[in-house]
Amino acid sequence: MSFALLWIPATIAASLLQTARNLTQRSLTDIIGVVGATQVRFLFGLPFALLFLAIVCAVAGRLPPAVGGTSLAYTIAGALTQIAATALMLAAMRERSFAVTTAYTKTEPVQVAIFGALLLGDALTPLKFLAVLIATAGVVVVSWKPGEKLTRAGLRPALLGVGAGAFFALSAIGYRGAIQALPEGGFFLRATTILALGLFLQTLVLTLYMLAANRPALISSLRNWRKSLSAGFLGAAASQCWFIGFSLTSAANVRTLALIEVPLAQIASRRIFAEGTSRREMAGMAMIVGGVALLLSIAL
């Protein structure tokens, strides 16, 4: 049985789970601060990642594959850049709306395509890059309001959001490189192994940092354990789906398909909250769908 196309449903599931996790983390930012909300997805996500790994190992009937130096280096790079990306994203969300900040970070697919070609040798044909560019431009069209100017006050969240996108791109490349560097095991086992290792490293780094520099935020996250646990589970489940995608296709394919969450969110807003959709938003969504469709036609 071929699992080559499993990255498509895995990516869609990851996008939905990540949106829910971001909303949960955003609500925690006002309670425990940016760093506190950043560490929640790692500290409270690690137990779920270990549980996922135990289940996969039991089903596969074997232990996780040995992690060599190359895979470890890629995992460390992915883990640290993901911490930076999450912190920048949450900092931007404190200054701009959730939707606008999400649009800034969604410049990530273009950066993933470039970094993937340079660092991992992932194929980047002109047609594929065009698909990524069209879909990303669609996000900008959907999110940017007519007549809205980028003032000095708006420059900081814009830079934070685009910077978060760049670090998310490097994180995706790091994790894909780590999964590829594992010497053995099926795609599911390799993806789950790197997920558990990455979350362990992130939890270690952030817990040590917070014990030394921001102990009240760490204690507050433990006191708000119900919401923190929700963010942890959603983060671990989203990452599991992302890593499955990374194990089967290029990070650029995964991150570009993930842009489909933008028109899905618009549709949900219209159906659930009776919010209208402008012609500009419809045009932007058409660009996203068109770019994703072009990418899938190439990938398939």
Calculate the alpha carbon distances from 197 to 5, 251, 266, 280 in Å: 25, 19, 35, 43
Q: What is the pLDDT along the chain (300 residues), one digit of tens a residue?
A: 567 789 999 999 998 888 788 778 777 877 777 777 778 888 899 999 999 999 999 999 999 999 999 999 999 999 999 889 888 887 877 776 656 666 677 777 778 888 888 888 777 788 888 888 888 888 777 766 666 665 666 677 778 888 888 898 899 999 999 999 998 889 999 999 999 999 999 999 989 988 988 888 888 888 888 888 998 999 999 999 999 999 998 888 888 888 777 666 666 556 554 555 677 777 877 887 788 778 777 766
From the list 185, 239, 230, 242, the residue with the least C-alpha distance to 25 is 230
- Give me the phi and psi of 274, to 5 degrees please: 55, 35
Separation in Å, CA 239 to CA 7, 50, 185, 208: 13, 13, 19, 23
* DSSP alpha helix (H) spans, the chain: 7-43, 46-60, 69-93, 98-105, 108-115, 126-143, 152-181, 187-213, 215-223, 225-248, 251-257, 261-273, 279-299
Q: What is the pLDDT, as a whole number, of residue 137?
A: 83
pLDDT of residue 273: 47
Give the pLDDT confidence score for residue 162 in this predicted structure: 81
| Type of residue at 160 | L
> CB-based contacts of 176: which residues, under 8 Å, 6+ apart?
116, 120, 246, 247, 250, 251
Q: What angle do CA 276, 281, 285 make, to 5 degrees?
A: 120
Q: What is the spatial distance between Cα 291 and Cα 141, in angstroms, rounded to a whole number?
A: 13
pLDDT at 143: 66
223 CA to centre of own chain = 26
Q: Map residue 249 onto helix, strand or coil.
A: coil
Q: Note the pLDDT of residue 59.
A: 94
Q: How far apart are CA 115 and CA 292, in angstroms?
A: 19
